[in-house]
Amino acid sequence: MNIREVAKKARVSTATVSRTINEPEKVNPRTAERVRKVIEQLNFYPNTHARTLVSGRSRILGLIISDITNPFFPELVKSFEDQAVTHGREIIIGNTDYDPKRMAGCIRRMVERKVDGVAIMTSETDPQLLAELARRSIPTVLLDTAPAGPRSLTLSIDYAQGIHEAVDHLLALNHRRIAFIAGPLHLQSARARQSAFISRLQSRGITVEEDLMQTGDHRIEGGTLAMENLLKLKQRPSAVIASNDLTAIGALGVIFEAGLRVPDDISLVGFDDISFARLTQPPLTTVRVSRSDLAVTAFTALEKLVKNDADIGDETNRSELIATHLVERRSTRAI
């Protein structure tokens, strides 16, 4: 069943059926109504592939993430998908698994399926691959990565803002020995959090002890190891800020098993506000990075990029900042 059958049954040409579907305002209301009836009656769905083939637009958007089982991403994916459904678009999701080879595969799939645009929400991206997209002039929205050529835009998470709030919060609670468990430092996003921590403390006149600076991997295990180191210190910290919630959860386990209590013995702050952060015991004070903000901003920007055939040029900002804020729960307390 196809557009010709509909046309025949409605006694119009296929062009009129096509117009009724795509540009109803250009069709006589009565004709349109008749066509619509037939479409309904025949339960006709236009073939998107034929449509894409001739028009060059697929109404598909690509969404590339690191790993859907990383709790940072499901909410992002969901909000992005909600936007897509609302705007009559399909999305194709690619998991890179933090592997550049898989990332290349993802991009290839996106190109093959002729996506109208791609949102790359992973924290590191090979500029070569971005060049590939730019060469085909596929609109791209990036996260924490320099935009690659025209029709490309970057979203930056305001890590500093959140870390500053976290530091100030602990300072206000009279903490002075504050440790930091960083993420993997090859990531720009991890370094941004670490340096925000250091600079804020210094600007408040506190020198950061080397021992109090640990490095994790943004996973539970890294938090576990780092916290073990911290507890071995002669003078342990009274508070710890972790570069993300998973790290904080790892730290929490260690503290608990050492017979210490949060927040009574040690205050703990996370980062991201994944959904489990409010379910830990005690609920975790953390910096929220709104995944729905991120998704909506990314989608909206991408949609705008897709609509403009030309470069976005100077008229638009090439970068947008995503706010972050401290959410106080029960893992921090005054000393």
Query: Which residues of this chain interact with its own copies, rule CB under 8 A?
Result: 45-50, 52-53, 58, 67-69, 73-75, 77-78, 81, 85, 90-93, 95, 102, 105, 108-109, 111-114, 220, 249, 252-253, 256, 275-276, 279-281
The smaller minimum CB distance to DNA, of residues 58 and 247, is found at: 58
Q: What is the widest separation between alpha-carbon atoms in the chain?
A: 88
Considering the rule CB under 7 A, would residue 14 count as an interface residue with DNA?
Answer: yes
Which of 27, 110, 181, 254 is the binder for DNA (CB under 7 A)? 27
Do 119 and 63 touch, CB atoms closer than 8 A?
A: yes
Number of residues that bind DNA (CB under 7 A): 28
The smaller minimum CB distance to DNA, of residues 41 and 202, is found at: 41
Considering the rule CB under 7 A, would residue 3 count as an interface residue with DNA?
Answer: yes
The smaller minimum CB distance to DNA, of residues 33 and 126, is found at: 33
Q: How far is the CB of 22 from DNA (least distance, A)?
A: 5
Considering the rule CB under 7 A, would residue 110 count as an interface residue with DNA?
Answer: no
The smaller minimum CB distance to its own copies, of residues 114 and 304, is found at: 114
Considering the rule CB under 7 A, would residue 55 count as an interface residue with DNA?
Answer: yes
Q: How far is the CB of 24 from DNA (least distance, A)?
A: 9
The smaller minimum CB distance to its own copies, of residues 74 and 150, is found at: 74
161, with CB counted inside 10 A (0-12, 13-18, 19+), is middle
- Cα 135 to Cα 150: distance, rounded to the nearest angstrom: 10
- Cα 26 to Cα 245: distance, rounded to the nearest angstrom: 54
109 makes contact, choosing from its own copies, DNA, none, with CB < 5 to 8 Å by partner type, with its own copies
Do 94 and 110 touch, CB atoms closer than 8 A?
A: yes
13 makes contact, choosing from DNA, its own copies, none, with CB < 5 to 8 Å by partner type, with DNA
Task: Strand 239-242: give its sheet, edge to edge.
Answer: 213-215, 178-182, 239-242, 267-272, 285-289, 324-327
Considering the rule CB under 7 A, would residue 26 count as an interface residue with DNA?
Answer: yes
Q: Please list the residues that pair with 179 across neighbouring strands.
A: 240
- Cα 280 to Cα 232: distance, rounded to the nearest angstrom: 24
Which of 32, 262, 277, 306 is the binder for DNA (CB under 7 A)? 32
Q: How far is the CB of 66 from its own copies (least distance, A)?
A: 11
Q: How far is the CB of 48 from DNA (least distance, A)?
A: 8
Do 91 and 61 touch, CB atoms closer than 8 A?
A: yes
Do 65 and 77 touch, CB atoms closer than 8 A?
A: yes
The smaller minimum CB distance to DNA, of residues 117 and 147, is found at: 117
Sole residue written with tokens 């540009």: 23
The phi and psi torsions of 324 (rounded to 5 degrees) equal: -135, 145
